[in-house]
Structure 1
Amino acid sequence: MQTRLLQEQRFSKLTPQAEKWEEDLPEKYDLQQPTAPKLIRVNEINDTWMEIPRYENIAWHGMWVISILSILSLFTYCSLFQFSEFYSEASVDSKIFILVAIFSFLSIFLFFFKMALFVPRGTPVRFNRKRQKVYVYEHQRSIWPWMRWPTVIKVFDWTDIHGEMLMYSGRYDYGHRLSCAVCQRGTYEVIDRFLLSYTVGDNRMIRGLWNHCCLYMQYKPVPETPLLTRKPLSWTPLNTVRWPEDLDKESKTAPE
C-alpha cells in the first residue's frame, strides 16, 4: 500500500519545486503540445516582439475604500484624545499604545493609498524572438509601506525558461497560474521564477498560452487575437507602466 502511494506521488523535475505546483508544462521545442496556442491578453504582437500584460486578480477600487476608512478612523481616534484629558493623564504604557495605534493607522492608510495610486496595472512581459530574450517588468512592492517600491526589469534567455502550472485553491483566488522557471543553462536548477498569467479558471487557457509563447519564439504561426480584450481601469498616469528608455528600445528591436 505504501509503495503504491509513493508511486502515485508526482513531483516537478525542477528544483526547488514551486509552491502550489501542479504540473510541468511541455518542453519549449515540443511541436506536438496537446493544447492549441491561444492568447489570453496581449498589448502588442508583431514579427519582432510580443507583449503580454499581467493583471492581478485584485479589486483595486477596494484599495481606495480601505485607505479612506483608515484615515477617517485615524482622525476620529485622534479627535477623541484631542477633546479629552486622557492622553495627558495617561500612563507611559498607555501613551505608547496610543502612539503605536496612530502609527498603525498611518501605515494601513499609506499601504492601500500606494497600492491604489502608484502600483502599475498589467505589468508586462515582452518576448523578443529576434534576440531570443524575455523582458519581465516587475514592480517590487512590500508589506512595509514606508519603503520605496522599485521597478525592476529582469532579462532572461528564452532557452533557460521552463513552464509550470500552479494551482491555487483559496476562497477568493481559485484557479490556475502560469509560472515560468528560469534555470541554470542546461540544468533544471531554478534560479528565478516569474508569473506569466495570474489565476484563470480553465487550465486549458494556461496550456494554450504556454504553447503560444513557445511557437511564437520559434517563428511558427500563432493567433494574434486574444481571448480577453477589456482592460481593467487605471485611474491616474501614476499607474502607467514606464519602461527605461534603453530597455524599451532593446526589447522592441532586433540585434544589429
Structure 2
Amino acid sequence: MPLFSFEEPKPKLNPPIKNWREDMPESHEPQLVPPQLHWLTTLNDTFLEIPRYSTEVAWGGVLAWAILVFILGIGIGISGFVIQAGHDGYGMIVIGLFGAFIFFAMMSSGLKMYFVQPRDQPLRLNRKRQKIYIYEFKHTFFPWLKWPVTIRSYNWADVHGEIRYSSARYDSGYQLFGSVCEPGTNKVVTRFLIAKERSSREQLCQIWSYLCVYMQHDKVTAEPANPGRPDDWRPRKADQWPAEMERESTTAPEHAVTQK
C-alpha cells in the first residue's frame, strides 16, 4: 500500500458539466475567497442585479457584417436584371430578387442584434425571497418576428456553482455556471451561465463568493472591479422585465413587509 495517495477531484453533481474544472462551495457555507464582482448594476437590502455581458460577440463586427451583406444584396439584385437583359422570361430576375431578399433578411437580423439585443442579460438575486431570476433574450434569423424575453426563477438553495473550461474558438476560457438541482439532491435539472473569464478562474470564484455572501445577509462592498459600462457594449435597448417578474424580483414577500 503506497505511503501517500492522491485522489483526483471529481465533480459531485450528476450529470457533471462538460469540461468540469471545479465545484464551488455550497451557497450556505462559509466562502473561502474574498467576494468581488466584475460589474454591478443594483445593490440594496432586497435584491442584487449583475449583468452578464456577451463577450463572445464582437459588436462592431456584427454591424460591419450587416453593412456588407446589404451591399452584396444590392449587387445580387442588380445582377439578376443585368443577366436577364436580352433574354426571354424573368428567371434570372426572380433568382436575383430572391437572393437579394435573403441578404436583406441577414442584414436586418444583424442590425436588430446590434441595436435591439440587450448586451447585458442580467441576473437578479432577491435575498428576501431567497430566489434567483435569470433574464434571457432569444434571437432568431427572422428579424420580422418579435424576439422573446424569458425570465426563469429558482430557489437559491437549489443552485450549486460549477466552473468549466470552454475551448470553443470564439468563446474560450473559464465559465461559471449555476446548476439547479432537485431539492436535497445532486441531480441537475438545468444550468445557466453566471460569468466568464478567459485566463483565470480565481475571479469566477470571487463572483460566486460575492453572490453567496450577499444571499447569506452578510455585508458586501458596493464597488465592483470594473465600474460603469464599457463603450463596446453600447448602444443597446434598456432591459424590459415583464411587469409581474419586475415586481417579484425587486420586492420582499408581503408577510416580510408586514412583520417589519
TM bucket (normalised to shorter chain) is 0.7 to 0.9
In the superposition, the TM-score normalised over structure 2's length comes to 0.84
AA in 2 matched with 1:249: R
**What is the rounded CA distance, in whole Å, between the counterparts of 1:107 and 1:75 in structure 2?**
12
CA 1:14–1:91 in 2, change beyond 3 Å: closer, same or farther? farther
Q: Which residue of 2 aligns with 1:29?
A: 28
For structure 2, the 5+ residue unaligned runs are 1-6, 255-260
SS in structure 2 of the partner of residue 78 of structure 1? helix
**What is the rounded CA distance, in whole Å, between the counterparts of 2:151 and 2:158 in structure 1?**
17
| In the alignment, structure 1 residue 133 sits paired with structure 2 residue 131 | yes
CA shift, 1:251, in A, is 1.2
Aligned residues: 246
Q: Percent identity?
A: 34
- Would you identify which runs of 4 or more consecutive aligned residues in structure 1 move more than 6 Å? 94-97
CA shift, 1:87, in A, is 10
**What is the rounded CA distance, in whole Å, between the counterparts of 1:25 and 1:97 in structure 2?**
56
CA shift, 1:146, in A, is 5.6
Query: Does the 8 Å CA contact 2:77/2:97 hold for their aligned counterparts?
Result: no
Q: Which residue of 1 aligns with 2:180?
A: 182
In the superposition, the TM-score normalised over structure 1's length comes to 0.85
RMSD over equivalenced CA pairs, Å: 2.6
Q: Which residue of 2 aligns with 1:83?
A: 82
Q: Which residue of 1 aligns with 2:114?
A: 116
**What is the rounded CA distance, in whole Å, between the counterparts of 1:74 and 1:82 in structure 2?**
13
SS in structure 1 of the partner of residue 69 of structure 2? helix
Mapping of 1:1-256 within 5 angstroms?
8=8, 11-31=10-30, 33-57=31-55, 58-85=57-84, 101-143=99-141, 145=143, 147-233=145-231, 235-236=234-235, 239-256=237-254
For structure 1, the 5+ residue unaligned runs are 1-6
**What is the rounded CA distance, in whole Å, between the counterparts of 2:87 and 2:197 in structure 1?**
52
**What is the rounded CA distance, in whole Å, between the counterparts of 2:73 and 2:147 in structure 1?**
24
SS in structure 2 of the partner of residue 83 of structure 1? helix
Query: Does the 8 Å CA contact 1:131/1:255 hold for their aligned counterparts?
Result: yes
CA 1:198–1:111 in 2, change beyond 3 Å: closer, same or farther? farther
